[in-house]
Amino acid sequence: MASDPFRLFDEWFAEARANEPNDPGAMALATVDADGRPSVRIVLLKAHGPDGFVFYTNQLSRKGEELANNPRAALLLLWKSLRRQVRVEGSVSIVSNEQADAYFASRSRDSQLGAWASDQSRPLDSRGTFEQRFEDMKTKFENKDVPRPPHWGGFSVAPEKIEFWSDRPHRLHERHLFTRGPDGNWTEGLLYP
């Protein structure tokens, strides 16, 4: 494999972008609530590197609240067309306002308006209510730039462990685990499948 998990991730992610038919950046995000009950959902990888794997969301959503209470998470990227997956575990921090502003500005206008219209993870009485809120945001920001909502931002998962899994015949899969030591250096080992 490689002694640098980020270089290996870059190679695998480039192959996934070239071959995976739908959302190669889709990743499962696992968090836990205050009682330790796990929750998992799909988010989109928007940046990655040695400092972390970044995604954006409403910080008042269920996942945002769970990460505020317990800033640790696990991620899983599955590329079925390549028969590979990558697992990441680590601590979570909020990205800078500048980084969140820059990403928010790159989103489509309708996605920006949707961030204002949605009370993500909160009960909704009807689809019509949400659609009306979206129309209200269109009117509110007509002929104006849409600013980033104060409750919307990014999270970065700083990896402590990264596992690269490859499918092999007869379920003799290959698993490489990279673990970050206290000195910040990475060690690599194999796991039984």
Catalytic residues: 171
Beta strands in the chain (DSSP E): 26-32, 38-44, 47-49, 52-58, 72-79, 84-94, 152-166, 174-180, 186-191
All domains of the chain in start order, with CATH: 5-107+151-191 (2.30.110.10)
- The string of pLDDT tens digits covering residues 43-88 is 999 999 999 999 999 999 999 999 999 999 999 999 999 999 999 9
SS3 131: helix
Angle at 181 between CA 178 and CA 186, to 5 degrees: 40
pTM of the model: 0.93
